[in-house]
Chain A
Amino acid sequence: MKIAVVIFPGTNCEHDVVHGLDLIGVDAELVFHKQTSLDGFDGVVLPGGFAHGDYLRTGAIARFSPIMDSVVAMADSGKPVVGICNGFQVLCEAGLLPGALVANRDLSFICKPVNLRVESNTSALTAGANVGDVVRIPLNSYEGNYVADDETLGHIEANGQVLFRYSDGSGTVTDDANPNGSARNIAGVSNESGNVAGLMPHPERAVEQILGSMDGLLLLGSIPAFFDLVGAK
Chain B
Amino acid sequence: MKIRIDIRRKEGLSDPEGVTTQRALQNLGYDGVTATHFGRTIYLEMEGDDTGAATAEVEAMCRQLLANPVIEDFQIEVVG
Whether A associates with B in a native complex is yes
Grouping DSSP codes into helix (H, G, I), strand (E, B) and loop, the A interface class, with mixed when no group exceeds half, is loop
Q: How far is the CB of B69 from chain A (nearest CB, A)?
A: 9
On whether the beta carbons of A57 and B14 are closer than 8 Å, the reply is no
On whether the beta carbons of A148 and B14 are closer than 8 Å, the reply is no
Give Cα distance in the complex from A148 to B9, angstroms: 11
- Chain B residue numbers with a CB within 8 Å of A112 are none
Q: Mark A172-192, 1 if CB is under 8 A from B, else 0.
A: 000000000101000000000
Give Cα distance in the complex from A105 to B18, angstroms: 10
On whether the beta carbons of B68 and A181 are closer than 8 Å, the reply is no
On whether the beta carbons of A100 and B68 are closer than 8 Å, the reply is yes
- Chain B residue numbers with a CB within 8 Å of A64 are 65
Q: How far is the CB of B26 from chain A (nearest CB, A)?
A: 17
- Chain A residue numbers with a CB within 8 Å of B15 are 102
Q: Mark A139-161, 1 if CB is under 8 A from B, else 0.
A: 00000010111100000000000
Q: How many A-B residue pairs have CB under 8 A?
A: 43
Q: Quick one: given A147-B71, A149-B12, are A103 and B65 in contact (CB under 8 Å)?
A: no
Q: Mark B1-18, 1 if CB is under 8 A from A, else 0.
A: 000000001101111110
On whether the beta carbons of B14 and A183 are closer than 8 Å, the reply is yes
Residue in contact with B16 in the complex, picked from A60, A93, A106, A149, CB distance below 8 Å: A106
- Chain B residue numbers with a CB within 8 Å of A150 are 12
- Chain B residue numbers with a CB within 8 Å of A6 are none
Closest to A143 in B: B16
Q: Quick one: given A56-B65, A149-B12, A183-B14, are A102 and B20 in contact (CB under 8 Å)?
A: no
A193 contacts partner chain B, Cβ-Cβ < 8 Å:
no
Other A-B pairs beyond A93-B68, A106-B16, A145-B16, 17, CB < 8 Å: A56-B65, A60-B65, A98-B70, A99-B70, A100-B68, A100-B71, A102-B15, A102-B16, A104-B16, A105-B19, A107-B16, A107-B17, A107-B20, A147-B71, A149-B13, A181-B14, A183-B14
Q: Which residues of A contact B (CB under 8 A)?
A: 56-57, 60, 64, 92-93, 98-100, 102-107, 145, 147-150, 181, 183
- Sample 20 A-B pairs with CB under 8 A, ordered by A number: A60-B65, A60-B68, A92-B70, A99-B70, A100-B70, A100-B71, A102-B9, A102-B13, A102-B16, A102-B71, A103-B16, A103-B17, A106-B16, A106-B20, A107-B16, A107-B20, A147-B13, A148-B70, A149-B10, A183-B14
